[in-house]
Amino acid sequence: MLKHPAITEDRIRKALPSIEALIYPQKAPVSIEAWHVGGEPVSLETALAASYQPFAVGGAWGPLWDTTWFRVRGEVPSSWKGEETVLLMRLTDQGREGFTAEGLVYANGNVVRALNANRREIEVSTAAQGGEAFEFYVEAAANFTDPGGNPAALAAGPIFRLAQAELASVNRAAFDYYYDFKIACELMSALPQDSQ
């Protein structure tokens, strides 16, 4: 039995951010542009032909139930040869999955994956050559979020901010270790102290 279990458990929990920081050891900026639809959703073909404007991480988008299309472009740094690379993209910092911003990612005219609070990695390369260009279109939906008790506030304008869009290399060993460690921490918090 531990002499000071609360202190030990707190130290274990505090290790999580340090381990998480090892998952994406290298990051690089990407080019972001946006087209705000201003109405009902449109087809991919319409979005591809639209006029996009420069957009920055932290920028506001999406009046309630509206759609914004993001075009994200970049190039894998030549020094990342052999690295697994992903685009990390988070449409917002607020709300629960399925009740907030979510998106659909396209590349070369095909759906690649869904994007939401729990899914932010978009594969660029499993083993980069270095120097390869990429381009993704993201159809971002401004779904319902908690207006803090004031539904009228949602109609006033953009309700989300683009929280993240950057290229990253991936350390899968750190990724796997982090989630094993995180689950063990959650079990430690949920189970009785005398549990194995």
The Cα–Cα gap between 108 and 113 comes to 13
- The predicted model scores a pTM of 0.86
pLDDT value of position 145: 61
Unique residue bearing structure tokens 């990051």: 27
pLDDT value of position 39: 80
Backbone angles phi, psi at 131, to 5 degrees: 90, -5
Q: Write the burial class of residue 49 (CB in 10 Å: 0-12 exposed, 13-18 middle, 19+ buried).
A: exposed
User: What is the mean pLDDT, run by run of 10 residues, along the chain of 196 residues?
Assistant: 71 91 97 93 96 97 91 98 97 70 95 92 96 97 67 69 96 95 90 80
Backbone angles phi, psi at 71, to 5 degrees: -115, 120
pLDDT value of position 148: 57
Cβ distance 157 to 38 under 8 Å? no
pLDDT value of position 94: 72
